[in-house]
């Protein structure tokens, strides 16, 4: 049996840090990026937002020396080593390519782009420029998800049978998703992306996906508010998720479960209530005992140390980050396959979607 203390995993950080410039000063930046970076002493030298007052308020709150409403000021600043971009995703390609041209490494908030074609173009541009590109798939650093990966790596589950995630929350949680011109898609692209990426992190790429999406009658935004999907793996594992974006209730929750022949794990993700995630697991050898590690970190904001730390480690060691743009294309391909499955009412092999 694994000591539960061994499952409270800290993010792996390198020995080097790099100066950060941030494009975007929305809620996710103010409440997650900036508190996380401050907690480990990383230097943010400039922030820009389309509204100067928003950028200046963030700069004042976190001791950032420069703020502006010209987003390209971050790219032009010679002090900046890494550009952290957190804009509506249809704008990511423009500013990522500008950063690559200036020789800056890039962290892109998820989703990497609003379309798979733009995401492919971003990855190709980074490769041509010889730049490190990471995507902020911070759900991989949720403490419970990280602990489950550790249990998997140690073979605790044995042969896997099923995995599931069920989420209930309000949609859309960011205003830009109401822009029907740029965002005819919502739940799979904007929120289920976490669960699809977590499944990939835990279990690898599936063979195919069967998905269903729905909208609520009369909803004022264009995209899907509900998504139900099943991933089928070559080893027989079925991974399922139900993501419900009911528009008015505050009865929000996120639960998960993993079942193997030799162990079962279950718990909650500490979002959107901001609490600690939980995990408890039992084994075939001791079926009446549940082991419950206590986590000292939260998904928000602590996971953002993990994502940026992963990019720093990749720069320092001249390797690809585990959350590289190239890897993230696998998650976006799965989203594209899910939308095709829902539209055509059939199971879609992942191989149908070109890399």
Q: Where are the domains of the chain?
A: 4-139+304-321, 140-298+331-352
Query: Which class would CATH give 140-298+331-352?
Result: alpha beta
109, 249, 289, 265: which is closest to 169 by C-alpha? 249
Contact by Cβ (8 Å): 133, 210: no
Q: Which residues, listed in sequence order, are joined to residue 240 by a DSSP beta bridge?
A: 164, 230
| Residue written as token pair 């044995």 | 158
Q: Can you give the pLDDT at residue 4?
A: 66
> What is the C-alpha to C-alpha distance for residues 74 and 22, in angstroms, rounded to an integer?
7
Q: In what order do the strands lie in the sheet with 286-291?
A: 286-291, 280-283, 263-268, 253-260, 160-168, 238-244, 226-232, 208-214, 348-349
What is the token pair recorded at 136? 């902020």
Classify strands 280-283 and 44-48 as parallel, antiparallel or unpaired. unpaired
The secondary structure element, H or E, covering residue 119 is helix 116-129
> What is the C-alpha to C-alpha distance for residues 149 and 141, in angstroms, rounded to an integer?
10
| 158 phi-psi bin (left φ>0, alpha ψ -120 to 50, beta other) | left
Would you say the CATH fold of 140-298+331-352 matches that of 4-139+304-321?
no
The secondary structure element, H or E, covering residue 56 is helix 52-62
23, 13, 71: which is closest to 44 by C-alpha? 23
Tens-level pLDDT at each residue, the chain (355 residues)? 677 668 999 999 999 999 999 999 999 999 999 999 999 999 999 999 999 999 999 999 999 999 999 999 999 999 999 999 999 999 999 999 999 999 999 999 999 999 999 999 999 999 999 999 999 999 999 999 999 999 999 999 999 999 999 999 998 989 999 999 999 999 999 999 999 999 999 999 999 999 999 999 999 999 999 999 999 999 999 999 999 998 788 889 999 999 999 999 999 999 878 899 999 999 999 999 999 999 999 999 999 999 999 999 999 999 999 999 999 999 999 999 999 999 999 999 999 999 8
Q: Provide the 8-state DSSP code for 217.
A: T
- pTM metric for this prediction: 0.97
Q: Which residues, listed in sequence order, are joined to residue 47 by a DSSP beta bridge?
A: 22, 67
Q: Can you give the pLDDT at residue 271?
A: 85
CA distances for 58 relative to 80, 83, 84, 159, 217, angstroms: 17, 16, 14, 48, 38
Q: Can you give the pLDDT at residue 1?
A: 61
- Evaluate whether the domain defined by 4-139+304-321 bears CATH number 3.30.479.20: no
> What is the C-alpha to C-alpha distance for residues 206 and 229, in angstroms, rounded to an integer?
12
Q: Which residues, listed in sequence order, are joined to residue 23 by a DSSP beta bridge?
A: 48, 85
């Amino acid at each position: 049996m694994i000591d539960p203390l061994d499952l409270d995993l800290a993010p792996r950080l390198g020995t080097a840090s790099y100066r950060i410039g941030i494009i975007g000063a929305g809620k996710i930046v103010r409440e997650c990026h900036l508190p996380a970076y401050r907690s480990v002493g990383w230097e943010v030298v400039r922030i820009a937002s389309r509204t100067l007052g928003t950028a200046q308020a963030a700069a004042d709150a976190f001791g950032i020396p420069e703020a502006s409403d010209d987003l390209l000021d971050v790219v032009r600043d010679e002090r900046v080593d890494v550009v952290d971009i957190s804009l509506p995703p249809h704008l990511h390609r423009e500013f990522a390519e500008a950063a690559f041209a200036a020789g800056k490494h890039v962290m892109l908030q998820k989703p990497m782009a609003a379309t798979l074609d733009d995401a492919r173009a971003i990855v190709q541009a980074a490769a041509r420029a010889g730049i490190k590109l990471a995507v902020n798939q911070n759900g991989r650093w949720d403490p419970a998800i990280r602990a489950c990966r550790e249990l998997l790596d140690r073979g605790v589950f044995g042969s896997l049978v099923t995995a599931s995630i069920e989420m209930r929350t309000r949609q859309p949680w960011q205003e830009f998703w109401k822009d029907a011109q740029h965002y005819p898609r919502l739940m799979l692209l904007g929120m289920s992306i976490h669960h699809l990426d977590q499944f990939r992190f835990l279990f690898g790429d599936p063979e195919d996906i069967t998905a269903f999406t729905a909208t609520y009658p009369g909803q004022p935004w264009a995209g899907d508010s509900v998504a139900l999907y099943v991933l089928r793996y070559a080893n027989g594992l079925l991974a399922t998720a139900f993501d419900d974006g009911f528009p008015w209730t505050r009865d929000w929750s996120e639960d998960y479960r993993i079942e193997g022949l030799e162990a079962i794990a279950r718990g909650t993700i500490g979002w959107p209530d901001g609490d600690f995630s939980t995990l408890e697991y039992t084994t075939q050898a001791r079926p009446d005992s549940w082991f419950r590690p206590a986590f000292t970190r939260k998904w928000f904001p602590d996971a953002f140390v993990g994502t940026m730390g992963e990019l720093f480690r990749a720069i320092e060691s001249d390797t690809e980050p585990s959350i590289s743009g190239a890897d993230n294309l696998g998650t976006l391909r799965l989203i594209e396959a899910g939308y095709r499955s829902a539209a055509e009412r059939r199971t879609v092999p992942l191989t149908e979607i070109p890399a």
